[in-house]
Structure 1
C-alpha cells in the first residue's frame, strides 16, 4: 500500500455507501430468519389447536338422537309430568324423584347448592338423559321428540348469563331474531331494564363487550329475563334468576315475572325460601 499513490489508498478505504450497502445486506438476511422463528411458533400453535380439535371431534354425544325421534312436540299444556330416577355422569345426583307440575302452575325447587336443582332443569332441556326414569310433557316422552321442538317451548333464565359482543338490543333479540324493535323495548320494560338502556350513550345500539363485561351482573341478568319474555315460551325455567339483583330491583322483576308467568308452567330454582314470591 505504501507504494501506491495517495488517490489509490483513498479509494481502498470504506466509504459511506459501503456501510449502507453492508447494512442493507444484513437486514435482508436477518429479516427472513426472524420470520422463520415466527412461522415456526405459529405452526407449533396450530398443531396444538389441531390436537384439541381432533380430541373434541372424538368426544361421544351424551344425548344421541334415536331412530324414533321423528315427530314434533305438541304442547296443549294439560300437564307436565316429571317422574325421575336419575344418575348423572356416573355420580348419583338424584334418586327416586317424582313430581307433577300442572299446566299454568308455578313450582319452586328449594335446596342447598349441589342438591340437584339445576340438574332437573338440564334434564328437562335434555342436555343429558336420565339413566333411568322418564320425563313427560303433556303426555309425551321428551326422549321421543325432536330436541329443537322441545326447546322451542321452553324459556330459561340462567344464573350465569352469557352475552355476545354485540349491541344490547341484539342480545335481547337473540331469543327471537325476527322480533321488531317495539317488541324488544316492551320485553326490556317488563324486565325493568328499559330505563337503564336509555341512559346509555347509544341506547339499544350500545355494545356490551365480550361476554357483557360492560354491564353489571344485575344488568346482564335482566337482559336474560328480557330474552325469555321476548321468546314468550309456554314453559319457563328460572334458575336463581334474581340472585345478582338488589332488593328493590328483585321485587320489581318478580312482579314482572309474576305477570309473564301467568298461565304458563313455571319451575323456579332458588337456594333460600325467602325468595319464593312467584309461588
Structure 2
C-alpha cells in the first residue's frame, strides 16, 4: 500500500496466533508493536511473553516493540496508541487478536454449566477489538491509508464451544463489514477484513489435544501454523485489489491459494472442505 516499511500492531501477541502473526510480519521488515499482559515467565500457565515475541520479531528481520497492555482497560489502550503515534507518526496495520480464552471453554458441558467468566470473551475479544479499531481508524482515516484485520474462525457460522465464543467470532466478522462500509462512505482508502483461521497448532491447542486425545486428536492433522495467518495478512496488505475485499470475511486457507501460499509446503484445508461451512454474506442495505 506504501513504499514505507509498515507500522503494525498485533494485539494479544504473547503467544499463539498473535505471536505467529507478529513474527511473520517481522520477516517482511515490519515494525511490530506487540501487546499482552504476560511480561515474565509465570504470568500465564502457557509459555510466552510480549518481550519474547518482540525479540523474535526483531530476530526475524523486523523491529519488535513490546507494550504491556490490558485490552479491557480503555485508558491503557489509549496510552498504547499515543505511544505508537508519538514514536512512529502513523499506524498502517492493526491485527485484532486479543481474546480472553479460558481453559474451561473447551470443557464438556452446556454454557450454563461452565463458569460465567467465559463471558469475558465478549469484553476482551469483541469489545476490545472495537476499541482498538476506533483508535486505529482515526489515525488511518486522517492519512487515508491502512488495514484493520480481525482474526476470526468458522465458529462464526456454526456452533463451536458455546455462545460466548460464537458471539465473539460473528461479531468480529460483522464489525469488519460495518467498518468497511463507514470507510467507503467517508471516501478513505482504509480497509477492514475478518480472516477465518483454521485450528492453530499452538501450545494451548497442543495441551487441549493432550488432555483428551479421543475427542480432539483428529484436529492435529489439519492444523495451521500460527505464522500462516501472518503470511496471509501480509499479502492482503499488499494486494492491489484490497479495496474490493474490504468488508469481507475471508477464509485464510482459501485466500492463501489465490496468493500461491503454502504452510510450510502444506495446503491447509478450508472450513468448507472440512465442515461444509462458508462465511455468512451480510446484506448490502444501509440505514443511517
Q: TM-score, normalised by structure 2?
A: 0.25
Which structure's CA Rg is the greater one?
Answer: 1
| Greater RCO (CA < 8 Å, at least 6 residues apart) | 1
Q: TM-score, normalised by structure 1?
A: 0.25
- Larger % of helix: which? 2
